[in-house]
Amino acid sequence: MSALTLAAPAPPASAPPPRQLRWLLRLHRPALYAWTGLVVVLGALLLWLGGPLTDASEAAWKQYNACGMAACTYDQDAILLYKDVARYTGSAVLALPFLVAAWAGASLIGRELETGTAQLAWTQGVTPTRWLVAKLALPAALVTAGTSLLALLHHLAWSAGRGRVDNTEPWYSIETLYAGGPVLVALALAGLAAGALLGLLLRRSLAALIGSALVTGVLWIGTFLTLPHLWPAVTRVSSLRDGPSGSGITVAEGLLTADGDRLAIPRYCGSSIDPACGSLFDRLDAVSFYRDYHPRSHSGPLLLVATGILLAVAVLLTVVAFRVLRHRTADRKGAAV
């Protein structure tokens, strides 16, 4: 009877103490500070790019264009500085999904399984499922907020220079299209999910870091290759003398014959102005050039479809990560019994 009286009921596994969850979040406080600092620095650079640097570069280009063919003095440093800052900030923003994936695989999940910290948490009233939820919820929110802000600032900085700065990148360049749109956010979330899954599968921080970065690279390359085919392209036909026309994301281009067949453009023959090319076009029975491409009006649909696909991939990877965790923790309980 006394034994029954002294035995305390076990706490329900589904309701871990809030103190344990706060402890799980505090483990990666340095990463939180680093992410916040990175977002603040890149955000400040993008504001500088879209404000003072754009104004200075615009003034320099006006000086240069006013020179005509005569030699004159203009602020070349302002033009070069604008170009360099735009290039480096765009590359840094595009690298964020890789950083998120590598951190998630190496530090967020992989190292905790490798050192036994996760297993210790599971013995302190935190179920594996709640542990993984606590691990992913706050990083997902911070990654979404940070990448959304930087994508918006990048787009605003580019828009500030469009039509004012002559060396502004076109809308379809990699930096402009991907760093200034929702694809960046979706790719970062997919990288976070991939890092969590690889961390659970490999249980080694270095291996998970490398694997997560590689998976994110595959997702990035797949997005780049498939995006032009996610929305119907428009076709522009031009004369043999003018060459292919139509500015945007090119899907395909070539020659059109009198029968409507499509042929590849012969090498070094972009116009019939060259007599040799004109003769070659006659032998091929070519009557015009064609180009299938996406104008700027297609950028919104293309980005939305690509974002939706990446978000679906992120959800799928997350679901697989939870299934892997449940399967492995169930195996551990069975072995203990």
68 sits in the region (left: phi over 0; alpha: psi -120 to 50; else beta) called: left
For 286, the 3-state DSSP assignment is: strand
Q: How far is CA 263 from the centre of its chain?
A: 35
In this prediction, residue 30 carries a pLDDT of 83
Cα gap 1→150, rounded to integer Å: 65
| Sequence-separated (6 or more) residues with CB below 8 Å from residue 322 | 129, 132
In this prediction, residue 223 carries a pLDDT of 95
In this prediction, residue 124 carries a pLDDT of 77
Encode pLDDT of 110-120 as tens digits.
888 888 877 88
Cα gap 101→96, rounded to integer Å: 9
In this prediction, residue 66 carries a pLDDT of 83
| Sequence-separated (6 or more) residues with CB below 8 Å from residue 111 | 117, 205
Q: Outline where DSSP puts E strands in the chain.
A: 234-238, 249-257, 262-263, 286-294
Contact (Cβ atoms closer than 8 angstroms) between residue 14 and residue 127: yes
DSSP states of 204-234 as a string? -HHHHHHHHHHHHHHHHHHHHHHGGGSSPPE
Q: CA Rg, the chain, in Å?
A: 27
pLDDT lower than 50: segments of the chain? 1-17, 20, 334-337
- What is the number of other CB atoms lying within 10 angstroms of the CB of residue 65? 10
The reported pTM is 0.86
Q: Which residue has the tokens 């929702």?
A: 182
Amino acid identity for residue 156 in this structure = L
Cα gap 212→298, rounded to integer Å: 31
Of the chain, the end-to-end C-alpha distance in Å amounts to: 28
Contact (Cβ atoms closer than 8 angstroms) between residue 58 and residue 65: no
